[in-house]
């Protein structure tokens, strides 16, 4: 399934504009620069990182899209992951109303929220089923859902407001599933900490990092075009995908080490070997 046509057209125009930007920013010096022989990947990348570049075309639009996307994700995450907690707040608002008729609106909202709450604790139970391990996300998510459901049931039991329809069933389902997930997680072994195999970040940050990455990609194209290095298409892609600041790890490698870095994506291996 492809992108919608307007999005595809925008992405195509952005790629074309960034390509033109990279040619203007890099070709002026990279096509005539005297690189050391034998070729040094580290020095070539250092030449890219040492320069300042104008903003990428469309960078403001990209930042705005990113901000809007994060806001939307946050807005959707509140009712989805915290449905029971927000549902309890809706029930508290319902019982504070003057009479059953005035409470119907908050109770309807609570029904929708507890549907999300049931799905949320169900996903926590599914998480445990997949890993059979205890995790902070599992305990916090299922525990909060269970406590919110129990509190909602207690508030409704002590209030003259009557909850009808699906709401009582959803509250019970959230409480039961959440309690089961919490107890299973509490009596399971903790999940192992994943080994941090990511090397330290190098080079510029923020917008400057995006510019430097795009400029380095263009430099690689120039290097290959000038036949300063002999790379097949697969290795060219792997070199382009290396983290910024790590081209120096390609210098002075044997064929076996070269394969380890590129094919296994084992960047940062020198730092890891030194620590081990």
Mean pLDDT of the chain: 77
Regarding whether 263 and 237 lie in a shared domain, the answer is yes
Regarding whether 152 and 99 lie in a shared domain, the answer is yes
Regarding whether 180 and 94 lie in a shared domain, the answer is yes
Domain membership of residue 72 (yes or no) is no
For 267-276, b where at least 16 C-beta lie within 10 A, e where not — what string? bbbeeeeeee
Domain membership of residue 171 (yes or no) is yes
Question: Between 72 and 213, where is the model more confident?
Answer: 213
Domain membership of residue 68 (yes or no) is no
Regarding whether 125 and 161 lie in a shared domain, the answer is yes
Per the CB < 8 A criterion, the answer to whether 114 and 148 are in contact is no
The domain boundary residue, chosen from 155, 186, 217: 186
Regarding whether 30 and 97 lie in a shared domain, the answer is no
Domain membership of residue 192 (yes or no) is no
Total length of the chain: 276
Regarding whether 92 and 28 lie in a shared domain, the answer is no
3-state secondary structure the chain: CCCCHHHHHHHHHHHHHHHHHHHHHHHHHHCCCCCCCCCCHHHHHHHHHCCCCCCCCCHHHHHHHHHHHHHHHHHHHHHHHCHHHHHHHHHHHHHCCCCHHHHHHHHHHHHHHHHHHHHHHHHHHHHHHHHCCECHHHHHHHHHHHHHHHHHHHHHHCCCCCCCCCHHHHHHHHHHHHHHHHHHHHCCCECCCCCCCCCCCCCCCCHHHHHHHHHHHHHHHHHHHCCCCCCCHHHHHHHHHCCCCCHHHHCCCCHHHHHHHHHCCCCCHHHHHHHC
**pLDDT tens, residue by residue, 31-86:** 888 888 888 998 988 888 888 777 766 544 555 655 666 666 565 555 555 678 88
Question: Between 109 and 255, where is the model more confident?
Answer: 109
Which pLDDT belongs to residue 253? 80
Q: Per-residue confidence at 240, pLDDT binned at 50, 70, 90?
A: confident
* Count of beta carbons in the 10 Å neighbourhood of residue 230: 8
Residue range(s) defining the domain that contains residue 97: 82-186
Q: Over 80: is that where the pLDDT of 191 sits?
A: no
Regarding whether 171 and 118 lie in a shared domain, the answer is yes
Half-sphere exposure at residue 261, Cβ-oriented, CA atoms within 13 angstroms: 27
Which pLDDT belongs to residue 274? 37
Per the CB < 8 A criterion, the answer to whether 134 and 188 are in contact is yes
Domain membership of residue 74 (yes or no) is no
Regarding whether 265 and 221 lie in a shared domain, the answer is yes
Regarding whether 182 and 88 lie in a shared domain, the answer is yes
Domain membership of residue 119 (yes or no) is yes
**pLDDT tens, residue by residue, 106-156:** 888 888 888 888 888 888 888 888 888 888 888 888 888 889 889 989 888
Which pLDDT belongs to residue 81? 59
Spatial distance between the Cα atoms of 183 and 176, rounded to a whole number of angstroms = 11
Regarding whether 210 and 155 lie in a shared domain, the answer is no
Regarding whether 155 and 86 lie in a shared domain, the answer is yes
Kindly report the pTM of this predicted structure. 0.50
- pLDDT above 70 coverage of the chain, percent: 75
Average pLDDT value for residue range 161-179: 88
The domain boundary residue, chosen from 156, 186, 216: 186
Regarding whether 156 and 125 lie in a shared domain, the answer is yes
Domain membership of residue 261 (yes or no) is yes
Q: Give the chain's domain count.
A: 2
Domain membership of residue 136 (yes or no) is yes
Spatial distance between the Cα atoms of 236 and 52, rounded to a whole number of angstroms = 25
């Amino acid at each position: 399934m492809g992108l919608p046509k307007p999005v595809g057209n925008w992405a195509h125009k952005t790629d074309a504009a960034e390509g033109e930007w990279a040619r203007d920013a890099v070709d002026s010096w990279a096509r005539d620069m005297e690189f050391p022989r034998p070729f040094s990947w580290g020095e070539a990348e250092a030449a890219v990182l040492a320069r300042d570049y104008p903003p990428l075309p469309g960078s403001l639009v990209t930042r705005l899209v990113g901000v809007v996307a994060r806001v939307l994700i946050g807005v959707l995450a509140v009712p989805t992951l915290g449905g029971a907690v927000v549902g309890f707040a809706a029930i508290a608002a319902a019982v504070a109303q003057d009479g059953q008729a005035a409470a119907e609106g908050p109770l309807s909202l609570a029904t929708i929220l507890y549907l999300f709450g049931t799905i949320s604790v169900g996903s926590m139970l599914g998480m445990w089923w997949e890993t059979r391990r205890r995790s902070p996300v599992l305990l916090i998510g299922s525990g909060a859902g269970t406590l919110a459901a129990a509190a909602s049931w207690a508030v409704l039991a002590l209030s003259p407001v009557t909850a009808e329809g699906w709401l009582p069933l959803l509250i019970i389902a959230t409480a039961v599933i959440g309690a089961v997930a919490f107890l299973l997680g509490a009596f399971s072994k903790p999940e192992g900490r994943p080994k941090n195999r990511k090397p330290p970040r190098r080079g510029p940050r923020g917008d400057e990092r995006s510019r430097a990455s795009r400029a380095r990609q263009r430099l690689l194209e120039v290097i290959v075009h000038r036949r300063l290095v002999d790379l097949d298409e697969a290795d060219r892609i792997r070199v382009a995908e290396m983290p910024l600041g790590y081209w120096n790890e390609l210098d002075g490698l044997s064929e076996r080490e070269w394969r380890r870095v590129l094919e296994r994506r084992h960047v940062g291996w020198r730092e890891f070997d030194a620590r081990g």
